Structure 1
Amino acid sequence: MSSLMSSMLPLMLSSSSSSATKFSGLRLRHLSYSLRYLLLNDKPIVATNLPIRCCTTTSRKTTTSPDKWYSLRNKLVDNNHRQDFDDKRYETLWSWNVITGLLVWLGLMEDNEEDPLIKIIKNGLRCMHLEEYEKAELILHSGLQMAQDLQHESAEIYIYDVLANNYFMKGDYKRAEPLFAVVFNRLLAKGMPPNDESLVEISIKLSHIYSNLSDFDKSQMGFDFSLSEQYQRVKSFVAKSVDELVSEEINSLALLGMCYDYYAKHLSSIGNFDSAIDTYKKSLDICIKVNGRTHPQTLVLLNDMSATYVHKKDFANAVICLKRAIEGAIETDDENLAKYYLNIGSVYLLQLNKELALKWCQRSLSTTLTSKNKPIEDKARKCLTEATGL
């Protein structure tokens, strides 16, 4: 039984590990906060004839990753990667020329002539959205060189931040950590308050990085700071319904949810499963409030909570969480449905329940054959093989 559990746990943890590599899309709004702070009174970028590296893309379908925190319901999403905005939109007073192109790309402004540096940053962000992290790195480094040639410090800080997020999403924490530290210190040096939400979010990501690098003292300090500051920020309106909140309050609440989510992952990784589940529940409550019960991030949180229940060998609650995730995934045609089928099949396999393990792993396989998800297909076949042998 113990060997079986050790072989199946990686399947249950697949969504958590995936979200750890993609969480820079979690609430990337902090980039907008940083830019607004940095750039209101900064000098404009002068157009140059420096060469531009473009990200060549195919007609590949881009889908929203469920491993990300989207800040606002009704598709009011993060100010970085998505174009499908709905009724509420940020009103900006930013005067710096470089942000104009990003707002155009995000669908918030009319198209205008764009500076070459803007185009480079946009192409880098687009590649990140497509999970083409190596391409994004090359493009952003060319943009960094241009910003340094122009001696534009704020553009340089912004690109450092995007590069850090690129490494973070890729799971390359050793390269992300020093870049986030550079951005953090430079923003402080420019006068940003230590409890600004931009710095709180960077602190969360650094805490997650330190946790993954087993530097638990630094990780705990960062989480303590982030949770304390963000709860103080939202406590006056946390009990209100979402319809009573303005956009900035919803974003602040989403950031607190993100704090809880990462902290729950940390607690689970160090074996504090009871506290991890309590913290996941706080994150889940906020996510449902902000995004709704069938939002991709809500489903991912349910899946991740189920993995923690599996660690506790509380299989009944693990199944409850996964069934909720599956119901939401079916309702919304979520791209992770096959993964949730696989995970619930894996739970039944751990319980040596041959009939139900075969049922759910077969559903996973059938779904992957339609969606052409080869990694999950291989795991579903393995699950079926092991279930058949029970």
Structure 2
Amino acid sequence: MFNYIAVPILFSISLLSTDTISSNISSDVEDNITHLIVLAKIALEKGDFDKAEALLQVGLKICQDYDMSYGLPIIYDILASIAFSQGDTRKAESLLVTAIERMTLDGVSENNDHIIDFKLRLARIYSAHKENSLAEIGFKTCLDVQKDKITKGDMSTKTGMIYINILFWYGVHMIKNSRYNEAKR
């Protein structure tokens, strides 16, 4: 039997471009990721670190399943912060390395503020573990990138704040290693 209602619906569906469908799916996925991040932040405010981490892991899985990078810096940022706050610096290190690798593979510039911020956190972790050569490389790389941005005219608040953060933590690193004159400069 021929269904007269189905014909216009099928015809309408065939007129939809795959770009429109893909765009709608991307928008829905982004909305879901945003919602998971908000729920994770609420869980953190209530002190429920396990729930927050579980929600963010679901967000990472969605990003992976849909090959999307939307929200990745924020998700990795929060996950690394949770690990760091719980004293698990090795887990935080692993998350930060993964975030940098993933973002770089997705075409994000090595000079991106999120990547520099993640590298600064890695340098701080290496400094805390007395892995001074890795810490030095990390601090100097971050400092050089931010100096270059400022020299080229980037006067954004984010760039300036990261630059100040680098100077502060590099100074702390030097003081811990009895390099007082360098820290003072």
User: What TM-score do you get using the length of structure 2 for normalisation?
Assistant: 0.72
Map Cα deviations across residues 15-55 of structure 1 (whole Å, 9 max, x no partner). Answer: xxxxxxxxxxxxxxxxxxxxxxxxxxxx6574xxxxxxxxx
- Which of 97, 107, 131 does residue 215 from structure 1 map onto? 131
Instruction: Assess if the C-alpha contact under 8 Å between 2:100 and 2:115 holds in 1.
Output: yes
Runs of 5+ consecutive residues of structure 2 not aligned to the other structure: 1-21
Map Cα deviations across residues 363-387 of structure 1 (whole Å, 9 max, x no partner). Answer: xxxxxxxxxxxxxxxxxxxxxxxxx
Q: Give the Cα separation in 2 of the matches to 1:157 and 1:253.
A: 23
Q: Structure 1 135/185 Cα, relative in aligned 2: closer, same or farther at 3 Å? A: same
Map Cα deviations across residues 242-269 of structure 1 (whole Å, 9 max, x no partner). Answer: xxx6xxx122111101111211221222
Q: Structure 1 237/192 Cα, relative in aligned 2: closer, same or farther at 3 Å? A: closer
1:230-245 alignment runs, 5 A limit:
230-235=146-151
* Secondary structure of 1:154 counterpart: coil
- Which of 139, 142, 155 does residue 58 from structure 2 map onto? 142
Name 1:127's counterpart in structure 2.
Answer: 43
Q: Structure 1 142/196 Cα, relative in aligned 2: closer, same or farther at 3 Å? A: closer
Q: Give the Cα separation in 2 of the matches to 1:145 and 1:126.
A: 20
Q: Give the Cα separation in 2 of the matches to 1:250 and 1:146.
A: 31
Name 2:145's counterpart in structure 1.
Answer: 229
Q: Structure 1 200/156 Cα, relative in aligned 2: closer, same or farther at 3 Å? A: closer
Name 2:113's counterpart in structure 1.
Answer: 197
Shift of 1:228: 0.9
Q: What value does the CA root-mean-square deviation take over the aligned residues?
A: 2.9
1:179 aligns with 2:95: yes
Instruction: Assess if the C-alpha contact under 8 Å between 1:207 and 1:220 holds in 2.
Output: yes
User: What TM-score do you get using the length of structure 1 for normalisation?
Assistant: 0.37
Q: Structure 1 233/145 Cα, relative in aligned 2: closer, same or farther at 3 Å? A: closer
- Which of 156, 173, 177 does residue 270 from structure 1 map onto? 177
Name 2:122's counterpart in structure 1.
Answer: 206
Instruction: Assess if the C-alpha contact under 8 Å between 1:124 and 1:139 holds in 2.
Output: yes
Q: Give the Cα separation in 2 of the matches to 1:136 and 1:45.
A: 27
Structure with greater proportional helix content: 2
1:1-12 alignment runs, 5 A limit:
none
1:1-390 alignment runs, 5 A limit:
46=25, 96=27, 114-115=31-32, 117-128=33-44, 132-148=48-64, 150-155=65-70, 157-158=72-73, 159-235=75-151, 249-276=156-183, 278=184
Map Cα deviations across residues 209-243 of structure 1 (whole Å, 9 max, x no partner). Answer: 111122111110010100011012113559xxxxx
Instruction: Assess if the C-alpha contact under 8 Å between 2:34 and 2:71 holds in 1.
Output: no
Q: Percent identity?
A: 22
